[in-house]
């Protein structure tokens, strides 16, 4: 059993790369499939009001987003394991098919239930596309060159967060909401056939035994965690029967999963990976950075709309500053890794910057100049960007090659679960802040969480200013907690072990992969 303080170096051996032209096509196609999956969630956000007016079902509107998030979270580690067992190519092509099938169900949906079911199917495909795409990089590139490629792929996430809602809004306005699900078909079909021609197939025919019990228990565990984070305290009270059932089910699933993985011949998430120091450190950082990232994305537009009276579209555009910082530093971090072969210092510096940026956000209020807010958000992005590419590279270079898919999936899984839990925790903090700072000022409002811009605008100017200050004060603790989380991530990043990444190109780099 691997000692937890010593990294496994099987994953850093030189890997023959395809020739430059084929490699370029593979990476562009992989980035396209990643963009396909990452926009799958964001493209629908601006279309939700139109979808509800067409299909009805306002009660279920949050599930259009939650179903995709839930499915992508639970499906990613399963897809990563299947990629390790049967090859990335077949899993990637199958995931494209599942994603497009889900999109077809959504586009043809005549009611909200069918739409949500389609989103779940689409999310299963999307989660698989994300992790297998990133694992492909480790298949076709030697360790030294993975940093640059992973940095570029991580930038796709930030880009899709900005572009997805804009594409969705444009399609809804010009054609109809159905086309936000059909627009991906040409891209997906093209990616399917390009991968068929360029990505090497698994040539060995080693028999495998799928860990069905472990897979099912992992899906139950992740599902309960995501559902608790999304439903408890908002849709249902913490003392309600559905939440209590989930709270009991989660630890039972965890115990069952650990027991199943100890007995499985090919566990879906090998427990030995959790003994590897870089696996521990990188995923701790992923989890906490996910909390800070999704917490900022969830609550900053609300502050801008209510306190600064910015319209919804412009409030979303303010997040572009954050994504520019994320994209830029992720790309630069990848270049730095490829040029120097070093990566340990990057997440430590970036999470330190993230800590300072989150502390800066605690100072915003009704009197904060509008030009200052994008600057703060830009530094939040700088604090997040390098952790995404470094996290994956440090995991991939520390684990055995036969677990590359599972290891890559873990990075995405911990980030998404951290985001779900962070959003829930920050939401509870915000609700408590509203009860303390705003509710006493507006006794006629039964729940301060139902406060709208129009309600605030109708208030007496003096009371309005007090309410706005109270609203900002309710948000301040969120960013203090975010700063603490970022500081803990900074400390966790110091545990990374820097493994030599070797030369920038492996011998045999001009070989063309055979079908």
Average per-residue pLDDT for the chain: 80
pLDDT at 15 over 50: no
Instruction: Give the pLDDT mean for 61-89.
Output: 80
If you ran DSSP here, which 8-state letter would residue 248 be given?
H
* Contact (CB, 8 A) for 257 and 391: no
Report the predicted TM-score, pTM, of the whole model to 2 decimal places. Answer: 0.78
* Contact (CB, 8 A) for 73 and 222: yes
| CATH number for the segment(s) 10-210+266-493 | 1.20.1250.20
- When mean pLDDT is compared over 59-73, 204-218, 320-334, the highest value belongs to 320-334
CA distance 234 to 240: 11
Looking at per-residue confidence, does 405 or 367 come out higher? 367
End-to-end distance of the chain based on CA atoms, in angstroms? 36
pLDDT at 2: 44
Dig out the tokens for 91 from the structure.
């899993």
* Contact (CB, 8 A) for 163 and 394: no
Upper half-sphere CA count for residue 486 (Cβ side, 13 Å): 30
- Give percent of the chain above pLDDT 70: 86
- Give percent of the chain above pLDDT 90: 16
pLDDT digits (tens, 9 = 90+) for 106-141: 988 888 889 889 999 998 998 888 888 878 877 777
Looking at per-residue confidence, does 25 or 217 come out higher? 217
**pLDDT confidence band for 424 (50 / 70 / 90):** confident
**pLDDT confidence band for 251 (50 / 70 / 90):** very high
CA distance 109 to 64: 12
- When mean pLDDT is compared over 110-114, 211-215, 309-313, 352-356, the highest value belongs to 352-356
Give DSSP secondary structure letters for 325-367: HHHHHHHHHHHHHHHHS--THHHHHHHHHHHHHHHHHTT--TT
pLDDT at 3: 45
pLDDT at 19: 64
Q: How far is CA 277 from the centre of its chain?
A: 22
pLDDT at 88: 80
173 Cβ contact partners less than 8 Å away, ≥ 6 residues apart: none
54 Cβ contact partners less than 8 Å away, ≥ 6 residues apart: 177
Helix (H) or strand (E) holding 378: helix 372-396
Give DSSP secondary structure letters for 230-293: HHBTTTB-TTSHHHHHHHHHHHHHHHHHHHHHHH-SS-SS-GGGGGSHHHHHHHHHHHHHHHHH
Alpha helices in 58-184 (DSSP H): 61-86, 88-107, 112-140, 143-174, 179-182
pLDDT at 199: 76
pLDDT at 17: 55
**pLDDT confidence band for 62 (50 / 70 / 90):** low
Helices and strands (H and E) in the chain: how many: 18, 0
CA distance 134 to 95: 14
**pLDDT confidence band for 450 (50 / 70 / 90):** low
pLDDT at 4: 47
Every domain range in the chain assigned CATH 1.20.1250.20: 10-210+266-493
CA distance 222 to 231: 14
Instruction: Give the pLDDT mean for 2-28.
Output: 57
CA distance 426 to 477: 9
**pLDDT confidence band for 205 (50 / 70 / 90):** low
Cα dihedral sign, 239-240-245-246: negative
């Amino acid at each position: 059993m691997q000692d937890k303080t010593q990294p496994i170096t099987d994953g850093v051996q030189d890997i023959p790369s395809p020739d430059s032209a084929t490699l370029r096509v593979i990476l562009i196609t992989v980035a396209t499939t990643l963009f396909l999956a990452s926009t799958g969630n964001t493209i629908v956000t601006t279309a939700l009001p139109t979808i509800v007016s067409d299909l009805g079902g306002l009660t279920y509107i949050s599930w259009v987003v939650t179903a995709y998030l839930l499915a992508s979270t639970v499906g990613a580690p399963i897809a990563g394991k299947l990629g390790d067992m049967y090859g990335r190519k077949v899993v990637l092509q199958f995931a494209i098919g599942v994603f497009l099938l889900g999109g077809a169900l959504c586009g043809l949906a005549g009611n909200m239930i069918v739409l949500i079911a389609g989103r779940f199917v689409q999310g299963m495909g999307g989660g698989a596309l994300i992790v297998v795409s990133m694992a492909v990089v480790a298949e076709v590139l030697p360790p030294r060159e993975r940093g640059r490629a992973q940095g570029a792929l991580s930038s796709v996430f930030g880009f899709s967060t900005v572009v997805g809602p804009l594409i969705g809004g444009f399609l809804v306005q010009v054609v109809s909401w159905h086309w936000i699900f059909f627009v991906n078909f040409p891209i997906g079909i093209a990616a399917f056939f390009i991968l068929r021609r360029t990505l090497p197939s698994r040539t060995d025919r080693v028999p495998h035994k799928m860990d069905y019990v472990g897979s099912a228990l992992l899906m139950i565990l992740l599902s309960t965690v995501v559902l608790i984070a999304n439903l408890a305290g908002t849709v249902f009270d913490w003392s309600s029967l559905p939440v209590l059932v989930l709270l009991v089910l989660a630890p039972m699933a965890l115990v069952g999963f650990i027991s199943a993985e100890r007995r499985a011949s090919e566990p879906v998430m090998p427990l030995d990976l959790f003994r590897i120091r870089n696996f521990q450190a990188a995923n701790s950082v992923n989890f906490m950075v996910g909390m800070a990232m999704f917490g900022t994305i969830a609550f900053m537009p609300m502050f801008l709309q209510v306190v600064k009276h910015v319209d919804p579209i412009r409030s979303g555009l303010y997040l572009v500053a954050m994504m520019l910082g994320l994209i830029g530093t992720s790309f630069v971090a990848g270049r730095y890794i490829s040029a120097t072969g070093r990566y340990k210092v990057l997440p430590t510096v970036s999470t330190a910057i993230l800590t300072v940026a989150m502390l800066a956000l605690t100072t915003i209020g009704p009197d904060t100049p509008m030009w200052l807010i994008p600057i703060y958000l830009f530094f939040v992005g700088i604090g997040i960007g390098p952790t995404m590419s470094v996290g994956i590279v440090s995991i991939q270079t520390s684990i055995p090659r036969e677990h590359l898919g599972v290891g890559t999936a873990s990075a995405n899984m911990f980030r998404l679960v951290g985001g779900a839990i962070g959003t829930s925790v920050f939401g509870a903090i915000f609700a408590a802040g509203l009860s303390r700072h705003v509710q006493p000022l507006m006794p006629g409002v039964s729940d301060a969480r139902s406060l709208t811009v129009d309600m605030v605008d109708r208030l007496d100017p003096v009371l309005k200013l007090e309410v706005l200050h109270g609203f900002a004060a309710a948000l301040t603790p969120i960013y203090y907690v975010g700063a603490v989380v970022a500081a803990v991530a900074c400390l966790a990043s110091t545990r990374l072990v820097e493994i030599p990444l070797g030369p920038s190109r492996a011998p045999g780099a001009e070989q063309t992969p055979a079908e």
